Amino acid sequence: MAAPGENLRINPDRLWDSLMEMAKIGPGVAGGNNRQTLTDEDGEGRHLFKRWCEAAGLEVAVDRMGTMFARREGTDPDVLPVYVGSHLDTQPTGGKFDGVLGVLGGLEVIRTLDDLGIRTKHPIVVTNWTNEEGTRFAPAMLASGVFAGVHEQDWAYDRKDAKGKRFGDELERIGWKGDEPVGERRMKAFFELHIEQGPILEDEGIDIGVVTHGQGLKWLQVTLTGKESHTGSTPMPKRRNAGLGMARITEMAHEVAMDYQPDAVGAIGHMEVYPNSRNIIAGRTVFTIDIRSPEKEVLDAMDQRIREGIELICEALDIKYEIEQVGHFDPVTFDETCVKAVRDAAERLGYTHRNIVSGAGHDACWINRVAPTAMVFCPCVDGLSHNEAEDISKEWAAAGADVLFHAVVETAEIVP
């Protein structure tokens, strides 16, 4: 298989301009983005991406989960396409690059092929997966999970946001529920470019992370029920304080993760307090414990210890608890051949690189179950992500997209 020549590069200015143009849709309050899944802003971002794809001569299809597939034909009608992409949805206080770089990096691959007049044997399909973030509708990576057969489509449609709105209804409302059955596409390979979302590459001054593994995750959503009562007149021994329960569980989950250093992590990022009044002891709290580890045994051990801890804490405070697992994936090992294509591309282009484990979840983690998959990481400033201040340089974005281009094009096979 002929590798593309090392002189072939994407257009850094065009990629950057597209990233900045997309970031104008659903601006955040502090320079980032709030383009949460299935909001009007998500719909607007999709329209812009579709216009760009069509301008590049791609045919855009949409499946029943709203995932967008933009296809550039190959020269051989009988071979499987190479897929590339990520997500355009953001956190409520998200950055401009998480996910977006992988989608627009994929589009830049196509635009560069067009500039250079290169045909490939295999078609190339740029993909925007619906609801990667999982912030509005848990779990994360919902559409890629349905695609990979991990979740039922009807179960996904029934997922509700904090206001009780259903995923399926919101998908229809924004006009992006397509006709195509989910998960029937077969892929030669899937490649996802993403910012690292951690500090390793920047600290070590390395251009490219060759992602060999993804760490596993569990999301345990806990509901504590105590009793609403007056903060001033309820004697301390008579309180059934669901807020105190949440505080103790927050501490406990942190301690459990600390017991499995250096690799495990754990935190509670989602917290709701009811009725959330200054002078009412919280009668109910709902929150999600997010635990992660690259080792399945560790993840399972943390899960068990946290469940035992919750039982003890609630017993002592005389409050009830329910635990619902609202997200889960086991640690992932990416495909050797695809990983090699990424490493070889970085090497050929003269970029410094190292192997790396993804701390975040990605659509690639699910797609890896149904297609050979790999990821490319580029650094981000201070390792910061899921924050409006998330930032990368144009050079970092370009290096990542160059490596993506080479890995994808080598896999899709240039037609001489």
Does residue 310 bind ligand GLV (CB under 6 A)? no
Compute φ and ψ for 20, nearest 5 degrees.
-70, -35
Instruction: Closer to Mn ion by CB, 36 or 411: give it.
Output: 36
Residue closest to 25 by CA, chosen among 84, 103, 85, 138: 103
DSSP 338-397: HHHHHHHHHHHHT--EEEEEESS--HHHHHTTTS-EEEEEE--GGG--SSTT----HHHH
Nearest approach, Cβ of 13 to ligand GLV (angstroms)? 28
Write out the two tokens for 165: 């709105």
Amino acid at position 243, single letter: G
Residue with tokens 């499987």: 80
Residues ≥6 apart with Cβ < 8 Å to 223: 284, 285, 286, 321, 322, 324
End-to-end CA distance of the chain: 11
User: What is the size of the binding site for ligand GLV (CB under 6 A)?
Assistant: 4
Nearest approach, Cβ of 119 to ligand GLV (angstroms)? 35
- The answer to whether 362 is a known ligand-binding residue is no
Does residue 98 bind Mn ion (CB under 5 A)? yes
Torsion angle of C-alpha atoms 331, 302, 282, 226, degrees rounded to 10: 120
Nearest approach, Cβ of 277 to ligand GLV (angstroms)? 31
- The answer to whether 151 is a known ligand-binding residue is no
Nearest approach, Cβ of 140 to ligand GLV (angstroms)? 4
The Cα–Cα gap between 209 and 334 comes to 13
**∠ CA(148), CA(150), CA(154), 5° rounding?**
100
What number of other Cβ atoms are within 10 A of residue 301's Cβ? 16
Instruction: Closer to Mn ion by CB, 98 or 410: give it.
Output: 98
Nearest approach, Cβ of 132 to ligand GLV (angstroms)? 6
Residues 94-133 that bind ligand GLV (CB under 6 A): 133
> Strands (DSSP E) along 107-188, which ranges?
124-128
Rg (CA), the chain: 22
Instruction: Closer to Mn ion by CB, 390 or 410: give it.
Output: 390
Residue closest to 243 by CA, chosen among 231, 258, 255: 231
Residue closest to 197 by CA, chosen among 94, 268, 289, 295: 94
Residues 275-304 that bind ligand GLV (CB under 6 A): none
Q: Count the helix, strand and coil residues of the chain and give each as a percent rounded to the nearest 5.
A: 35, 25, 40
From the list Mn ion, ligand GLV, none, which binds 99 (C-beta under 5 to 8 Å, kind-based)? Answer: Mn ion
Nearest approach, Cβ of 384 to Mn ion (angstroms)? 12
- The answer to whether 353 is a known ligand-binding residue is no
User: What is the size of the binding site for Mn ion (CB under 5 A)?
Assistant: 2
Instruction: Closer to Mn ion by CB, 99 or 214: give it.
Output: 99
The Cα–Cα gap between 250 and 193 comes to 33
- The answer to whether 194 is a known ligand-binding residue is yes
Does residue 99 bind Mn ion (CB under 5 A)? yes
Nearest approach, Cβ of 142 to ligand GLV (angstroms)? 11
From the list Mn ion, ligand GLV, none, which binds 140 (C-beta under 5 to 8 Å, kind-based)? Answer: ligand GLV
Q: Contact 96/386 with Cβ under 8 angstroms? A: no
Nearest approach, Cβ of 360 to ligand GLV (angstroms)? 3
Does residue 196 bind ligand GLV (CB under 6 A)? no
- The answer to whether 295 is a known ligand-binding residue is no
From the list Mn ion, ligand GLV, none, which binds 108 (C-beta under 5 to 8 Å, kind-based)? Answer: none
Does residue 140 bind ligand GLV (CB under 6 A)? yes
Does residue 142 bind ligand GLV (CB under 6 A)? no
Site string for ligand GLV, 382-411 (x = CB under 6 A): ------------------------------
Instruction: Closer to ligand GLV by CB, 283 or 361: give it.
Output: 361
Residues 356-385 that bind ligand GLV (CB under 6 A): 360-361
| Interface positions with ligand GLV (CB under 6 A) | 133, 140, 360-361
Annotated binding site for Zn(2+): 87, 98, 133, 194, 386
| Interface positions with Mn ion (CB under 5 A) | 98-99
Annotated binding site: 87, 98, 133, 194, 386
